[in-house]
Amino acid sequence: MCGITGWLDWDRDLREQRQTVQAMTDTLACRGPDAGGTWFSARAALGHRRLAVIDLQGGVQPLTDAGPQQTPQAVLAYNGELYNYRELRTELQSLGHHFRTESDTEVVLQAHLRWGADAPSRLNGIYAYAIWDTRAQELTLVRDRLGVKPLYYHAHATGLFFGSEPKAILANPGFRAELDTEGIAELFALPAAPTAGHGLFRGMREVRPGHLLKVTRGATREVRYWQLHSEAHTDDTATTTAKIRELLTDTVERQLLSDVPLCTLLSGGIDSSAITALAALARSRAGHDKVDTFSVDFPDSATALRPDNWRTTHDAPYVQAVVDHLGTRHSQVVLPDDDLLEARDMVLRARDRPGWGEMDASLYLLFREVRRQSTVALSGEAADEVFGGYPYFHAPEGLAATTFPWLHGRQTPAALLRPEVRAAVRPEEYTAQQYRDSLAETPELPGEQGSQRRLRQVGHLALTRWMPPLLDRVDRVSMAVGLEVRVPFCDHRLVEYAWNIPWELKSLGGTPKGILREAVRDLLPPQVVDRPKSGYPSTPAVRYTEVLTARMNDLLADAAAPVFDLVDREVVRDAIRHGRPLPSPRTAPNPVGGLDHLLQVDEWLRAYKVGLR
């Protein structure tokens, strides 16, 4: 994968801003460790950092449609993987287009030259890109349908800055890192259900999934090019099962395409195990070697596990069952507490915002180990959103709640805000309004009522409010070490098909994700196929908790700690004194989650010099 950035300005000559654009580009070096480049004109400047995966020699960017001595029609900075680029390349060649490289990047460029704003609807992949049309003097920013790849921007009086990550925009002196009341609400009230398009920093936005942004002099227009449509599902059980298998098989085969080493991430759950099994089958048919697989664990995690609705079983026995069954080349990455503590600062810099503490740190360390052997990894991420596997899909009290079901009955970090901050932010009102707005976006099926209608609503909330922070976490933490993570369950064809499968069929046999389990039953050991959902593992966190508690006591003694401009110091002090867990930004139970979050907020405010508005 790659990193892109750029600057559009109608008043100043950007050819005189090479140093600033280079600085913006350099912030994304971790996303693209293999190469970098910039392109300049008077009105637009583009920067690119490259992680070479396909056409290692020919995919240099920014890419133009003309030779070095010619004036281009268009210039492209692209971050992504296009899984149908060979078919599109053939089609474009038949229409008279000529290609100079073997890269999917050039296919995207030529597709825009041929089809314009209709080009994104023809793409199958994960991507975020910027294309500057030199003839129309128009900048187009595009993001993939499910929002797997990030793309941020800041519109200012005379133009716009953009980047794959906030750090690229923050590197421009024209942007100030500030937090307003909406940003505070996002950070403290809705960290587990962020608002689509909100960039947390004041004045920063994200291109929304399935949208493109067209920017010309005097006008900025957002266009939605993809959305789900609700319609009656007429396939029977056998046909539905076969269709899911067909779509998954095709998706995995497409996503195995790579000119660099590739692996799968394996947790022993049905999602990652299905992807691994289909990858092993495809590689075997093609006469290739075994699949490399990776899992994560912690010392003493098996004995420390206290099962709950989110973590039901220990991963290791199920991982081993899949490895033995499929014959993969497996590596288990074991992470002690001290390593997690050392990774916290790196993760904060990777995410440009407070995240999920040790869960982010462990993912970072896992990805760092994977990157030593592979450049690309396939993940089972998003299957629970697509097929309804999370506990909140099956909890009557959550389904009946008048808020995001995973927030029902939970206290968020907003409970710690100082009274005057709470009065300005109004976190309960903000959450309620965001929930109402989200419900209103659900594509309703005419005539659908009762529990079926509610489950469709919750499914849409899962795809649009729950899944985005998970995808963002995976992207930012993986790209921090130069690893590309692909997510087959986010293939838009599969998402569109699964969207209309009735709930009783999705939960075939009364089992969460029952239809998915049936679709891959013949590929995996029975104990793996029938394993209940078990979330991403958490460290037993004995030393981790002790160290963070000591850091919080130091923070409480620091009169200048910026976090206490937002948070009530005495409320936090009382909770620490009495050993009460602080409210966590995570939904899964974790006694250290709230403590971790608060410390990260303070570290972020200091490191990024965030002002409060």
Q: Which domains does the chain have, with CATH numbers?
A: 2-224 (3.60.20.10), 237-381+473-529 (3.40.50.620)
Its pTM stands at 0.96
Give Cα separations from 358 to 14, 453, 596 (angstroms). 41, 37, 8
User: What is the DSSP secondary-structure string of 491-546?
Assistant: -HHHHHHHHTS-HHHHTGGG-TTHHHHHHTGGGS-HHHHTPPP--S-----HHHHH
Instruction: Decide: helix, strand or coil at residue 125.
Output: strand
> Which are the contacts of 167, defined by CB distance < 8 A and separation ≥ 6?
27, 28, 349, 352
**Cα–chain center distance at 73:** 32
Q: Among 340, 349, 355, 353, which Cα is nearest to 585's?
A: 355
The full 3-state SS of 386-421, as one line of letters, equals: HHCCCHHHCCHHHHHCCCCHHHCCCCCHHHHECHHH
The encoded tokens of residue 82 equal: 């296009």
Q: Give the distance between the most distant pair of CA atoms in the chain.
A: 73
Using DSSP bridges, classify how beta strands 292-297 and 138-143 pair: parallel, antiparallel or unpaired.
unpaired
User: How far is the first Cα of the chain from the last one, in angstroms, to the nearest whole number?
Assistant: 35
User: Which of 145, 183, 28 lies closest to 463, judged by CA?
Assistant: 145
Helices (H) and strands (E) in the chain, counts: 24, 19
- Whether 584 and 536 have beta carbons less than 8 Å apart is answered as no
| Collapsed DSSP state (helix, strand, coil) of residue 599 | helix
Assign 3-class secondary structure to 167-232. Answer: HHHHCCCCCCCEECHHHHHHHHCCCCCCCCCECCCCCCEECCCCEEEEEECCEEEEEECCCCCCCC
Which residues are CB-neighbours of 385 under 8 A, at least 6 positions away? 459, 462, 463, 466, 467
Catalytic one of 2, 30, 263, 490: 2
Residue 172: closest CA among 3, 31, 351, 8: 8
Bridge partners of 50, per DSSP, are 2, 35
Over the chain (613 residues), the average pLDDT of each successive run of 10 is 94 97 97 93 97 69 84 94 96 94 93 95 98 97 98 96 98 98 98 96 98 96 97 97 98 92 96 98 91 91 70 88 97 89 92 93 96 96 97 93 94 97 98 97 95 97 97 97 96 98 96 97 97 78 86 97 98 95 86 93 98 92
Structure tokens that stand for 497 in this block: 């098909």
Active site residue 2: yes
* b/e 80-94 (16+ beta carbons within 10 angstroms → b): bbbbebeebbeebee
Q: What is the pLDDT of residue 52?
A: 75
Helix (H, G, I), strand (E, B) or coil at 561: coil
pLDDT at residue 468, rounded to an integer: 96
Query: Can you read off the two tokens belonging to residue 543?
Result: 């030393």
Q: Give the type of residue at 414.
A: A
How many whole angstroms separate alpha carbon 194 and alpha carbon 245? Answer: 32
Which pLDDT score is estimated for 565? Answer: 98
Two tokens at 21? 């654009």
- H helix or E strand, kind and range, residue 111: helix 104-115
Asked if the bond preceding 317 is cis, omega within 30° of 0, the reply is no
